Chain A
Amino acid sequence: MKRLNRLFTWGCCTAIAISVSTHSFAAGPLAIRAGKLIPINGEPIENAIILIEDGKIVQVGTDIEIPVEARVIDASKQVVMPGFVDSHNPSGMSQANERNSNVPFLSVVDSIDPQLDYFEDCRRNGITTAAVVPGNSTMIGGRAAVVKTAGQYVNDMLLRRDSGLKISLQPVGSSRMSHIARLRAELDTAKRAMEEEAESEKEPKSEAPSPSDSAKSGPAGGPAPEKPADGETPAAAAATPPPTAEESKEGLLVMQQLLKGEMPAYIYCETAMDVGQALRLIDDYKIKSILILGRDCYKAADLLAARKQTVILDPTLVFWETDPQTREDKQVIIPQILIKAGVPFVFQTDNSGIRQTLGSGFLWYQAATSVKYGMPRDEALRSLTLTSAELLGVDSFVGSIEPGKDADLVILSGDPLSANTWVETTLVAGEEVYKRSEDQKLKRLLEEPLE
């Protein structure tokens, strides 16, 4: 209870701090002297200056005159790089998964809570942009959004609404084949409705909506007119409760957006066989997609390599596997396998269970692990920032330090992939949203125990 109180107090403090900073610094220009600047889109620059105005980067270089009125952050002994981008994380919302397995009509925007610890941790760890994506246990889990990790209200944070529709190939409570069959049925329904709409547009008639309605209600579980005599229901989606008419209409619209290529799908593949399924779905329905891989998907590395598409890796990058026949243990190093196969990838962090103090809970650690196993350094740093931003379709705003982009920066005490390095300051849109010197939680964590 006491701890809860304390947490509450911290939460309030942070909120106040943000609101205060919004008022005091937003107006004037800001300059950062960087000991070393890693812009990602170019070579690192020593002793660089970044000029920021209205939350945007205005100028980057070594020969820049700092305006007199500008506030200056001196990071001349430190490293400045773009804020990290978390490409797949359900932690930003209040609950990752729905009980109903088919909820395309939902949007995470309605569930993002800016006060969550997750966002605070993001700022502490240098993450300035995060894709909030529904969890892996819902077949069609709703629409994701890309947000900044600082802000008082969701609308302040939003960078890209409806950035993608989450689809999970991991069956929950049914077999894989029925899972896929149901997913296909949903896509087929949307496709059929779309085709019918297109037809009805061609020859405008008043009775157009009726066939489309029946098409919808059929698979959705309503009794079909041809119902056999003994009262058996041929409905496909019988196991999932039918959504209301409103919801199903909106859901259908979303599915159509997906099929039209207006919105990509975040497809979660639990096992290697799901990768094959995902690729088939992508081909069959011509949908844009971002693949999120489970641990065992490394076996499908060749399939992925043929697509030349950036994938999001499982948080577990290195693990041991026992051969069922020979009983021999073998170490699987996923980055190594994918680099060899030529599959581009970005990382996600492990936020299962107890919050970790070191390891796969940190993006920089994931990158450092990959560098250890053969990933080029600059590529690893790019995957933390610009590659992830590209994947999420927000690279015109964030991901690198160049004029015109948002001033989402992270000031590090040293090398970004070193375990000794601290995030000193995190800036979102030119505002200091995190300072290590003011981080009470970290201080408490690091101070000597009382007893």
Chain B
Amino acid sequence: MNLLTHRRLATCLATIFSLTSLLSISNQQANAATTDVYLAGAAYVGQGQVITNVAMVVREGRIVTIGPRSEVTLPSGATIHDLGSVTLAPGLVIAETNLADRGVDEDEALTPFIRAIDGFDFFGDYDSLLATGITTVQVSPGRARLMPGQGAVVKLGGEDPQQQSLNASESLRILLTEEAFNPPRIYKPPVGAVSVDRPLEPTQPQLANNLGDAVIGLRALMIARAAEDAQSDLVLGTLNEVLNAGKQLRITARSAGELAAAHRIAEEFQVPYLLVGADEVVSASQSIPWSGDLLRGVVLAGKSGAASLTNQPVPKPNETPISEPWERAAALIKAGAKDKLAITVPNSELTDIWYLAGNFLAAGLEPHEVLSMLTAIPARLLSVDSRVGSLAEGKDADFLVLSGKPFAPSTRVLETYIDGKQVYQRPQSAKSKVIRAATIHGADGKTMDGEIVVQDKVIRGVGSSVSFPSDAEISEFPGAVVVPGFIDMATRVGTGTDLNDRVGLNDRLGRLLVSDDDQVAMARQGGVTTGLLSSSGLPSPVVAFKLGNIPRVLQDPVAIRYSISGNLTSEEAKLKATLAAGQKYAETWVTYDQAYAAYQKQLAEYEQAKAKYDAAIEEQKKKAEAEKQKAEAEANAKPATGAPSGDAPKPDAPKPDAPKPDAPKPDAPKPDAPKPDAPKPDAPKPDAAKPDDSKPDAAKSDESKPAEALVEPKKPEEPKKPNVTDALEPYRLLFAKKIVAIVEVGDGLAVDLAVKLFVDEFKLRTILAASGTAYRQASALSDKQVSVVLSPPLDTVDDGQPVSVAQQFLAAGVPVTIESRAGTGAVNLTSAIGFSVYRGLGGRDALAGLTSVPAAQLSLASVGSIKEGNDADFVVLSGEPFHAGTRVLAVMIDGDWVYKADDKEGAQ
């Protein structure tokens, strides 16, 4: 990281130096500062071969030079962007889209005077197309009329519409396809009431009903436009204007007939034309001179709906199947139209053009050739190749930064530039956050300086030279102290209301937590990031949760909270009964679990034995069969003596086979276990009773008939599951010591009783919520390895003397944790503890009591200390924790800043 900064700094300094030196020479030279140099691994320039290790110089939105790094002299003072191993490519040029007014149609069939550029919204939102790498598009008027108007070529980004419009009148569109036929009849209502002067006229039919009509109509128009006063007619005048200016016809034609008609019209009147669609190009390939001059190019539609499967009719034997787009491309290439092919896809699929165009690689094309069908060739077909479509000297700096080779599946557009300005940048995935502060209270009471790196809600590193990505969001807190997020052993916030009702022990309080709670937001301003919540009706389950904007449950339940108060004699009896019931319940489950484990083991053994038994039975059957056959054979053919001798081993063989399955089971690794007799006594011993039974049988089988001796193994019986009592379920966790019991006691006898019951008798992990003069019993508690949880004030006055309760416990070796027992009051937790620190409690002990100790007591491993892998929960303090004047500067929970003091001040 340091290295990186240094390098950046060096570049910066170099730039500044060169800048100042330039400035000193002359003002005009200062313009060189707008020169940018892009260094990349490779560049697909649009046409021709790929340049590797490329350098491209861009000035004022134009490409000055492009070439191998060794051949390009970098202008001094230029900003150098070393993009690494990426690939540069020209911005894509799409030869036909409906982006102008979404291809809305007029009523009239012949509207050549309509210009698509008038319907293109230069201020529209084309972000998704720019993200795809499309920088230039042709926009077509209409889509279902014979002659809907003039197309235009525009850039999707840029300074102003004048600049963006590359070719305001690119072509005259003609559709010979089915959707253009049968346009609506025109109805012209008279102005005002119908009268003799203003008769109601019938609707007028329009061109065209079919392909023939269309061709006749177009021919008539072409002839009529030569008339003397054609200029005064809007349609013919426009037609003349457009065609005399040498604009091309853009003819949409799909079937072979339509293609041929398109060609006929263009040839008859010698007008250059562009074919769009061309589905049946394979069958029409003979009828059109594809390499002729009049045909400017063919815009092929990519295969749409690539991700879905569509059923197609089974082709009849003598029928040519529907060709795929790349087959059409291949046919056209064969016909000599290779440099006339461009690719387009429907508007809705433009964002997938990389994949759809990638299919054309199947026509035997190289990636750079397919790319030219999306860049240089369409640019030429649209007569905008002087400005876009390739990366070359003098062209507009419309280019893409690709992560790899074009059309490779994992290649993505990283950046898009138009006129040298970045118009799209691929967003970085989940930014890391870096927190810089003077002191960090790490794990095990160690303090250090440096940084904390957070990624994906988790601490990725702590210390002075942790590596982090260059795009990380860095938060600097000079002079600040970072401590782990506080764990409040008893909070009242989280549900939006007070939990006063008695709740069932099996209730999940975590489900009551609400998002975006103002009280939570206030409590965490005090530094609390994890809270324990219980109902005030005790006993109650306790949930541990994070105080984020969306509360996150850490463990539910994490403890059960009890209270001992009032008449201790009756309390004792009551608690004892409760706990005993719980214990009994837990024990029945423990017994069951053990029995069930044993059952699982037996079941496995039974299944093995059963398999063995089944095999043995099968063997016997075979044997019996064989013997029977043998007997028959002997009876039938006595003279053949050779045969029985060959058969003889057969009946013997099964005998040792039958017991054999027993043998490999216990000691499988020994393949050369001797005779079946030997392993048999060994094998059953480790097993349960059942295999024992089978063994003697198997042994017997050697001597006499095995079939009778075999005994089917008995299936073990599943132990009966105890009834589930919801209210007692948590006791299973409690008695398994997976969760703790937190017992609210006052002092004196209640403490003794709690220890007696919870620790001595029921042997539970216990935390005593002590108060008053309980510290006098501290040493007794330390013997029993019980910890205490205290709530502010952490000191008391005993016999007129101020006493730090927490310090007393700690001195006796009793771990101390802290609870606020407050709602929004937790905001002042640090200052309340600060008072105790002033009274003699160690600052570090106080911090531990809020962080690492409760985490350890509750077995919450992911919180309570700042170390790698832990949750990113921190409190940034303006100074040492619990010192007077120390404020909470910021709080992070799970990698999100949930509170920043600056924001709050700024907001007010």
B224 touches A231 (CB 8 A): no
A230 touches B118 (CB 8 A): no
A226 touches B224 (CB 8 A): yes
Q: Tell yes or no: A235 within 8 A of B by CB.
A: yes
A242 touches B191 (CB 8 A): yes
Task: Give CA–CA (A77, B109) in the complex, Å.
Answer: 70
A181 touches B123 (CB 8 A): no
Task: Give CA–CA (A218, B116) in the complex, Å.
Answer: 23
A229 touches B104 (CB 8 A): no
* The residue from A174, A181, A215 contacting B232, defined by CB atoms under 8 A apart: A215
Among A269-277, A312-320, A420-428, the one that faces the other chain is A269-277
Q: Which of B564-580 contact A (CB under 8 A)?
A: none
* The residue from B106, B114, B188 contacting A221, defined by CB atoms under 8 A apart: B188
Given contacts A100-B191, A233-B186, contact A185 B234 (CB under 8 A): yes
B125 touches A176 (CB 8 A): no
The residues of A that contact B116 with a CB separation of less than 8 Å are 177
Q: Tell yes or no: B161 within 8 A of A by CB.
A: yes
Of B108, B109, B186, which is in contact with the most chain A CB atoms at under 10 Å from its CB?
A: B108
B233 touches A177 (CB 8 A): no
Q: Mark A198-234, 1 if CB is under 8 A from B, else 0.
A: 0000000000000100110011010011101111111
Among B214-222, B673-681, B846-854, the one that faces the other chain is B214-222
Task: Give CA–CA (A179, B104) in the complex, Å.
Answer: 12
A181 touches B207 (CB 8 A): no
* The residue from B107, B188, B217, B230 contacting A230, defined by CB atoms under 8 A apart: B217
Q: Tell yes or no: A368 within 8 A of B by CB.
A: no
B125 touches A324 (CB 8 A): yes
Task: Give CA–CA (A70, B860) in the complex, Å.
Answer: 93
A302 touches B160 (CB 8 A): yes
B146, closest chain A residue (CB): A232
Q: Tell yes or no: B119 within 8 A of A by CB.
A: yes
B207 touches A239 (CB 8 A): no
A232 touches B207 (CB 8 A): yes
Q: Tell yes or no: A325 within 8 A of B by CB.
A: yes
* The residue from A214, A243, A273, A324 contacting B120, defined by CB atoms under 8 A apart: A273
The residues of B that contact A302 with a CB separation of less than 8 Å are 159-160
Of B127, B141, B149, B191, which is in contact with the most chain A CB atoms at under 10 Å from its CB?
A: B191
Given contacts A224-B233, A231-B205, A234-B235, contact A239 B109 (CB under 8 A): no
B217 touches A271 (CB 8 A): no
Q: Which of A219-275 contact B (CB under 8 A)?
A: 219, 221, 224-226, 228-236, 238-239, 241-244, 271-273
- B348 shortest CB reach to chain A, Å: 15
Q: How many residues of B contact A (CB 8 A)?
A: 54
Task: Give CA–CA (A393, B235) in the complex, Å.
Answer: 39
Q: Tell yes or no: A299 within 8 A of B by CB.
A: yes
Q: Which of B107-149 contact A (CB under 8 A)?
A: 107-111, 113-125, 127-128, 141, 149
Task: Give CA–CA (A238, B109) in the complex, Å.
Answer: 11
Q: Which of B256-290 contact A (CB under 8 A)?
A: none
Task: Give CA–CA (A104, B717) in the complex, Å.
Answer: 100
Q: Tell yes or no: A180 within 8 A of B by CB.
A: yes
Task: Give CA–CA (A180, B120) in the complex, Å.
Answer: 11
Task: Give CA–CA (A300, B160) in the complex, Å.
Answer: 9
Given contacts A177-B119, A177-B149, A272-B122, contact A236 B113 (CB under 8 A): yes
Q: Tell yes or no: B236 within 8 A of A by CB.
A: yes
The residues of B that contact A243 with a CB separation of less than 8 Å are 191
The residues of B that contact A231 with a CB separation of less than 8 Å are 204-205
The residues of A that contact B668 with a CB separation of less than 8 Å are none
Given contacts A176-B119, A239-B107, contact A234 B233 (CB under 8 A): yes
Task: Give CA–CA (A288, B150) in the complex, Å.
Answer: 28
The residues of A that contact B84 with a CB separation of less than 8 Å are none
The residues of B that contact A180 with a CB separation of less than 8 Å are 115, 118-119
The residues of B that contact A299 with a CB separation of less than 8 Å are 123
- B113 shortest CB reach to chain A, Å: 5
Task: Count contacts between A and B, CB distance < 8 Å.
Answer: 137
B123 touches A177 (CB 8 A): no
Q: Tell yes or no: B213 within 8 A of A by CB.
A: yes
B110 touches A234 (CB 8 A): yes
Q: Mark B526-556, 1 if CB is under 8 A from A, else 0.
A: 0000000000000000000000000000000
Task: Give CA–CA (A54, B229) in the complex, Å.
Answer: 60
A273, closest chain B residue (CB): B121
Q: Tell yes or no: A159 within 8 A of B by CB.
A: no
Task: Give CA–CA (A184, B114) in the complex, Å.
Answer: 10
Q: Tell yes or no: B321 within 8 A of A by CB.
A: no
Q: Which of B440-459 contact A (CB under 8 A)?
A: none
- A11 shortest CB reach to chain B, Å: 31
Task: Give CA–CA (A324, B127) in the complex, Å.
Answer: 10
Q: Tell yes or no: B242 within 8 A of A by CB.
A: no
A177 touches B127 (CB 8 A): no
The residues of B that contact A225 with a CB separation of less than 8 Å are 227, 229
The residues of B that contact A241 with a CB separation of less than 8 Å are 188-191
A277, closest chain B residue (CB): B118
B225, closest chain A residue (CB): A226
Q: Tell yes or no: A352 within 8 A of B by CB.
A: no
- B725 shortest CB reach to chain A, Å: 48
Q: Which of B180-223 contact A (CB under 8 A)?
A: 186, 188-191, 204-207, 213, 216-217, 220-221
* The residue from A174, A185, A211, A300 contacting B123, defined by CB atoms under 8 A apart: A300
Q: Tell yes or no: A437 within 8 A of B by CB.
A: no
Given contacts A218-B232, A238-B186, A325-B127, contact A174 B106 (CB under 8 A): yes
Task: Give CA–CA (A21, B122) in the complex, Å.
Answer: 55
Q: Tell yes or no: A175 within 8 A of B by CB.
A: yes
Q: Mark B151-179, 1 if CB is under 8 A from A, else 0.
A: 00000000111100000000000000000
Q: Tell yes or no: A62 within 8 A of B by CB.
A: no
Q: Mark B393-410, 1 if CB is under 8 A from A, else 0.
A: 000000000000000000
The residues of A that contact B114 with a CB separation of less than 8 Å are 175, 177-178, 181
A218 touches B191 (CB 8 A): no
- B208 shortest CB reach to chain A, Å: 8
Task: Give CA–CA (A100, B191) in the complex, Å.
Answer: 8
* The residue from B110, B111, B159 contacting A181, defined by CB atoms under 8 A apart: B111
Task: Give CA–CA (A185, B234) in the complex, Å.
Answer: 8
A181 touches B149 (CB 8 A): yes
A299, closest chain B residue (CB): B123
* The residue from A177, A277, A280 contacting B100, defined by CB atoms under 8 A apart: A177
Task: Give CA–CA (A229, B122) in the complex, Å.
Answer: 40
Task: Give CA–CA (A228, B216) in the complex, Å.
Answer: 9
B234 touches A218 (CB 8 A): yes
Q: Mark A358-372, 1 if CB is under 8 A from B, else 0.
A: 000000000000000
Task: Give CA–CA (A363, B160) in the complex, Å.
Answer: 32
A232 touches B206 (CB 8 A): yes
Q: Tell yes or no: B101 within 8 A of A by CB.
A: yes
B229 touches A214 (CB 8 A): yes
Task: Give CA–CA (A44, B105) in the complex, Å.
Answer: 58
Q: Tell yes or no: A332 within 8 A of B by CB.
A: no
Q: Tell yes or no: A303 within 8 A of B by CB.
A: yes
Task: Give CA–CA (A229, B162) in the complex, Å.
Answer: 41
Task: Give CA–CA (A231, B116) in the complex, Å.
Answer: 27
A228 touches B217 (CB 8 A): yes
* The residue from B107, B121, B186, B220 contacting A228, defined by CB atoms under 8 A apart: B220
A244, closest chain B residue (CB): B191
Please name the 5 residue pairs, one residue from A and one from B, whose CB atoms are nearest each other, closest first: A177-B119, A234-B235, A272-B123, A180-B118, A226-B224
25 sample A-B contacts, Cβ–Cβ < 8 Å, listed by A number: A176-B101, A176-B118, A177-B116, A177-B149, A181-B114, A181-B149, A192-B232, A218-B233, A218-B234, A219-B234, A224-B235, A224-B236, A226-B230, A228-B221, A229-B220, A232-B207, A234-B235, A236-B113, A244-B191, A272-B121, A272-B122, A273-B122, A300-B123, A325-B125, A325-B128
Using a CB–CB cutoff of 8 Å, the interface residues on chain A facing chain B are 100, 174-181, 184-185, 192, 211, 214-215, 218-219, 221, 224-226, 228-236, 238-239, 241-244, 271-273, 276-277, 280, 296, 299-300, 302-303, 306, 324-325
Please give 9 more A-B residue pairs, beta carbons under 8 A apart, in addition to A218-B233, A238-B107: A177-B116, A192-B232, A225-B229, A226-B230, A226-B233, A234-B235, A238-B186, A273-B161, A296-B123
